[in-house]
Structures are given as structure tokens and as C-alpha cells.
Amino acid sequence: MTFRSRTAIAGTTLFAIALASAAAAIGAAPGDDDPFLWLEDIDGPRALKQVEAWNADTDKRIRSMPGFEADRARARAILDDEAQIAMPDQILGDRVVNLWRDAKNPRGLWRVSPLAAYGAGKPVWTTLIDVDALGKAEGKSWVWHGADCLAPAYERCLVSLSPSGTDADVVREWDMKTGAFVKGGFALPAAKSNVAWIDRDTLLVGTDFGAGSMTNSGYPRLLKQWRRGTPLSAATDVMAGKAEDVSLAPSAVMDGDVRRVFASRGVDFYTSILSIRLPDGRFAPTPVPPSADFRAVIGGRMIVFLNKPLDAFPAGALVSYAIADIAAGREAKPELVLAPTDSQSIEEAVATDHVLWVRLLDDVSGKLLALSRDAATGRWASRAIPLAANATLDIAAAADARDLAFVTVETMLQPPALMAVPAAGAPTTVQILPARFDANAFTVEQRFATSKDGTRVPYFLVRKKGATGPVPALIHAYGGFRAAQLPGYLTGQPYRAGPLGLFWAEDGNAYVLANIRGGSEYGPAWHEAALREKRQNSFDDLHAVAEDLVKAGISSKGRIAISGRSNGGVLVGAAMTQRPDLYGAVISGSPLHDMKRYSHLLAGASWVAEYGDPDVPEDWAFMKLYSPYQNVKQGMRYPPAFFYLSTRDDRVHPGHARKMAARLDAYGNRVYYHEYLEGGHSVGADHAEDAVRAAMLHAFLKTELMAPPK
């Protein structure tokens, strides 16, 4: 079992009217003074009035544009099309559960089918929870956040529901037999909770227990054991972290018939201390290095991914530890499972009862391996699974007892297919989506740019066949948190922007997905190369990709748009302030921009290991060189920017986008702004908002990069 812990308008705009007084007060770029600090008041009347004005201005400029409504309708049809893969969110013994969303069920149907029928491509669904109907009945805007069902019977589940899509959610116990929430069962109010089953009548709970129970990052600091039939206030202490930690979280996985319960104390975003619960209820420390990631349990062995070298084992390798040694108090020594080559990166390890499934990248192309261990020698045998070449793979779920993995396979031009992969024998197709567009009209190629320090940076380029001469280009990138950017079907590119990539390529333009440093495309070293004081490498990589497009005659300066969300907001913000000559438009989604204050806003404190601590002078010395908000200068002309975000985002504070938009506009730059009231960090609570956003971004790009010169 596996541990699973994106127009120029003549005259004066509403932006300028609303910000005129602030602009007059600014004068030169401020130092530590922040005239837009009031925009951090998420629900403050003044801030919301400003947001309403910005939204209205953007609606006026965008929604009446030719093609907007056609784009919105087409995007909605693509997103709501019932010809979608019913993904196996979980496999519960001999059943598959799935959350199904379509036009009639925008928040989803949580439903179940027999595994045999599902694997044969003919699922028989029974609805468990209609999320839309539940929200209507309870007067709540519920968004599904998943369910944790207790193995091996899978009769009781902890269902998580978020109000409006925030990271905080409520937890309620569900009875599979009765098809109803358990009256008087386990229930937690809305909070950023971490919960795991010990047994049917006992939970490990990390939640908001009151003053001092949460970390500075806003996640649980205390872990308690809660017995059925007792109030939450009576839960007994198990473990405590520190206020400066990120979080304390329990987890439980099945190792054959044995339940293994763990607790992970996240010291920072990349450092955690893992403990295992012993049969007597005590937690014992494991030998897993604090920098490593616990991935799975199989055959009494913990599978661990190394982010740093360990003894003779390189960073990026998988190793294992014998749980029996830990339980007996003996030294548990690491044993090599798999070491990648220089061009490879191990992305995922999923265990069934007898097989360890490993998904890796080889020059950003997906590969799947099935590994099994010889108990006598301790060696692991590996079998390469024959799947599509040059494709993006994802292990959707796995059936433990059957040693069966369900894997999605897709490329930018080939629609997703769901494959059933057995431990032995050939994979079979469960479902493949119909084509949404004529793939023969396009070409995809992988190219490499050379960054400032000589590093080869891969990127994927989509164009119409026979394209010649420079055309407008859209580059999407991320560059952080070990998150590889993988090429998926164009109807979902870029992340959280619906079919924008498809619309853009159909216009005759170039769509680019850049694999800049900061992700995991080439293992831990690729991430380390853009960490903290080395962040500029990721910006240089993006510049290099853009310049490579110019050098190759694919695009030209001033006609290249860049897109990024969340951490990608830091990227595009820094890029636009560093090279306003190179870029012609910027899309910034749910972004970080004010790196001076980020660690004081919502979950920002949890990312200090990635960026640095702005309150430490030595860290701010390198952060201030790129922090987007602080580097916007009066008198400099920046490319037009479109900001999209959610008021209810409780991970990345909406103040980042609000303040960046305000400062850019106050200095006379063209700004578009769309702040949605629901949806959390993922922005859209349903497909309706996702479709609007895709149409808006397409209209923005057409106006700024394809319209005749002004």
C-alpha cells in the first residue's frame, strides 16, 4: 500500500479611478512602506469594494469581445463532457470509488462500482453522496475533498468536505452499509485537520484544538488519540511539534493484512521526522533520513525516496527499511531498491501486496516499472511495462490483493487513456477518450534551450504543421517545490486554465511547456539548483526558453506571453520585472508576489525552506533582488498582466495579486483582474468558473499579442 499524503481601453479605466489617490501618494517606489497593505484585509469592505471595481472593469473589457462567449461555451462543453475517464480515486478491496463531475453535477457524485466491472470497461455505478444535493439540503457550498475508508472492510469512511473549496474542511464519518453519515459518529468542524484511522473506534487527530494547537503555518501542531463515544476535548495527547514546524500529520497504510500507522512531524517543507506506531501504542522513531520522503510499505519494508545521498546510495534513489528491525529496536539498515540514471527522475512509487510500481521520467518522458523483491537475496527485479512512448503517465490507483495498477497515458496530441496493468502479462485498455481536436493539424517537439550558466533546459513546443515565421507564443512554467511540469492533452493545458493551450495553438500560435529548474524533472538536483539563493536560475531558465524561441524564429520579442500560478506567480512576476523587453503579456494565477511579507500571510511560513526567510537579513539580501512586488519601478513600462485568483484561497493570500495589480496600475501599466469568490487555491469550485477563466485568458492573449499594433 502507498502513502499519499494547477485590451487597451482608451481613456481612464476603473483601475485608474480607484487608485488615483494611492498613486499620487506613492511618488517614487517605496522602501518598507506599503501603501497597498489594506488590500491584505481579505474581507475588508474597502478591499472588497476595490475587488468589485476591478472585476467589473475586466468583465466590461473582456466579456463583450468577439469570440468570448463561443470560447466559454466550448470550454464548458469540454470540461463537462460525459466522455471523460471515470478515474479510480480509490480501490476499496473489490470496489472502485470515483468522484464524477459533469454539467448536471458540478460539485460531483461520489460513487462506487465493482472492481471487475470497472476493470472490464463496463462499470456499474451506485451513488453514495451527491455533493450538489448535499450542499443544497444543508445550505452549504460544499466542495469534495476526499474520503479515507478503513481497511480491510471499508465499511466506515472519514469524508472531508470543504466550504467553498478552501484548504480547511469538515470531517464526517460515513457508513457504507447504511449509505448515510453516522449519527453521533466522528466529526470535526472546519479546520486544516490531519486525521487517520487506528481502528474502527479510534482515530489519530491533528486539528485546531484551540490556542497554541496550530503551527505558525496554520497546520496542526498537536496529535491526539480520540476514542469513539468521547468528546473531542477528551482526546489524549500522543505527540507535539513546535510552533515553527510546518505540521504534524498521522497516516495509516495496509501492508497486506497489517495496518501500519505513522506520524510525520514536518519540521520544514522538506524536512520531516517519521515515527511508527508500535503494537503497544507507543511511537518509535524510524531511521528514515529527515530529508527523505516516505513513499510506501510492502512486505514489511518501508519504501523511501532519497532527496540527498545516503551512504553509498545517490540522491534520487529508492531504498527500503525492514519494519521488524525498527519494532525490535535493532538497527534498520537501508537497502537499495532502484537508482535512476542521470537522465531519469523517480516520480512515484505505489505498492500493492507483492509489486512496487515505479513511475519515472527519462528526459521528461514517462516510464513504468514493476518491481518485486527476492526475500533470500534482498535484490529487486524490475520489469519495464510496455506503454506509449514519449507519453505522460500517472498511477491513478492500485488494487492491493490483485497486484493491479491503473495508469493513465496521454500526450499533448493524444487524449488520455486508462490502462489496467497486471503484475504479469500485457496492459489492457479500460477506457480511452475520443479526440477533442484534429491532432494531425499540429506538431509537438521537445527542444532544449541553454540557460545563462550553460544548463540545458528542455521544453515542449506545439505548433500547427507547416508553421513558418515568428508567431505569438505562450510559455507556461512553474519552477519550484519539486513539481515536474508534464505535457498533457491540450484540452487541459496549462494547469487550471482549461483548454487555453488548445485555443492558442488553433489560432496558429505557439504553445510551450517549459521544464525549468526548481521542479523534479531530473531528480533532486534539478530542484536544488533553484532553491533559496539560487532562485535566479529558474528565472534565467525561463528567459533562455523565450530567447531560444526568438533565436529559432519561432516567436519574437514582445510577442511572448508567460503563464504561471501559485509559485509560478513568483516566476512570472520576477520575469516581467527583469525582462519587460522580452515579454508581451503575463498571466499570473493565485500568485505569490510580495516575498517580503509572504511568510506572514496564511500558509506562507511553511515555504521558508523553499524561498528563504525575509525576516532574516541574509535571506532578504537575495530575495529582494527578485521579489516581484518590490521590484516594480515607476517609469518602467511592463507587459500587460492578467491576475486570476480566489477570495477564499486560504493557502496563497489574495493580497499578493491585489497589491501587485494595484502597484502596476498605479504606475500606468495595463492590468486585467478576475477574483472569484469561491474555489480556494484551486480557484474554480466547479467547471463554470474554469470555463469563464479559459475564455477570459484567451481573449486577453488575443488582444495583447495578436491585435494590430496600437
Q: pLDDT band at 20, cuts 50/70/90? A: very low
Q: Which of 218, 141, 208, 216 is nearest to 647 (CA)?
A: 141
Counting residues of the chain whose pLDDT is more than 90, the rounded percentage is: 89
**Domain ranges in the chain?**
443-706
Q: Please tell me the predicted confidence (pLDDT) of residue 33.
A: 86
pLDDT digits (tens, 9 = 90+) for 596-647: 999 999 999 999 999 999 999 999 999 999 999 999 999 999 999 999 999 9
Q: Please tell me the predicted confidence (pLDDT) of residue 3.
A: 47
Among 164, 365, 566, 627, the active-site one is 566
What's the chain's length in residues? Answer: 710
CATH number for 443-706 (one of 2.60.110.10, 3.40.50.1820, 3.40.50.970, 3.10.129.10): it is 3.40.50.1820
Among 476, 593, 681, 698, the active-site one is 681
Q: Please tell me the predicted confidence (pLDDT) of residue 650.
A: 87
Q: pLDDT band at 24, cuts 50/70/90? A: very low
207 secondary structure, DSSP code? S
**Alpha carbon distances (Å) from 168 to 105, 142, 191, 635, 680:** 22, 12, 5, 42, 9
Average pLDDT of the residues of the chain: 93
- Distance in angstroms (rounded) separating the CA atoms of residues 625 and 540: 13
566 catalytically annotated: yes
- Distance in angstroms (rounded) separating the CA atoms of residues 690 and 6: 11
709 secondary structure, DSSP code? P
Q: Which of 206, 204, 202 is nearest to 218 (CA)?
A: 206
Counting residues of the chain whose pLDDT is more than 70, the rounded percentage is: 94
- Distance in angstroms (rounded) separating the CA atoms of residues 545 and 60: 34
* Listed range (82-86, 297-301, 399-403, 450-454) with the worst mean pLDDT: 82-86
| Mean pLDDT confidence for 482-511 | 96
- Residue spans of beta strands (DSSP E) within 380-533: 380-384, 392-399, 404-410, 417-422, 428-432, 442-450, 456-464, 473-476, 510-514
Question: Is a pLDDT exceeding 60 seen at residue 17?
Answer: no
